[in-house]
Amino acid sequence: MSQPPATRPSRTPSLPLRLGASWITNAVVLAIVTVLLPRVTASGAGTLIVAAAVFGVLNTIVKPLLRFITIPLAVLTLGVAWFFVSLLMLVLTSDIVSGFHINGFLGLVEATVIVWAVNLALDFLPGPWQVTARRRRLRRAS
């Protein structure tokens, strides 16, 4: 009688771990932004945690929808339109979370660039936020 093949344990982090990692990284990114930019303020650590949760939900649900809708505009602008989609996520976070404020368009642009740069740096660090990047590397290797 044959036994079923042994299954290898999945190396993909669980959904709660990925959501937790996303929430923590968003909080760190927003904290970095508030430290570096005088135009971005948060009334406290609790506000940053709430802003990170809101920012994470917006980036998970709203941003992909907006990116899909703006594909033609992104093609015409060589991707610049997607910068403004990212900027909008910060505007919405600032509007939703009282105590988290981004003052002026220049402050929004600077904050968006810093969020982008920190997220780019995180893409090169191993962690649960790299699930899709890990899958891409595995596909390329095979």
User: Residue 122 CB: number of other CB atoms within 10 A?
Assistant: 15
Please list, in sequence order, all residues whose beta carbon lies within 8 angstroms of the beta carbon of residue 89, skipping any fewer than 6 positions away.
55, 58, 59, 62, 63
Residues paired with 100 in a beta bridge: 42
Residue range 104-116: mean pLDDT, rounded? 95
pLDDT digits (tens, 9 = 90+) for 34-64: 999 999 999 999 999 999 999 988 988 898 8
Query: Does the pLDDT of residue 100 top 60, yes or no?
Result: yes
How distant, in Å, are the alpha carbons of 7, 13, 57, 91 from that of 50? 39, 24, 11, 15
User: Residue 141 CB: number of other CB atoms within 10 A?
Assistant: 6
State residue 69's pLDDT score.
93
pTM: 0.76
The CA-based angle 111-118-63, given to 5 degrees, is 65
Q: What percent of the chain has pLDDT over 90?
A: 51
Cα(101)–Cα(72) distance, integer angstroms: 31
Residue range 112-125: mean pLDDT, rounded? 85
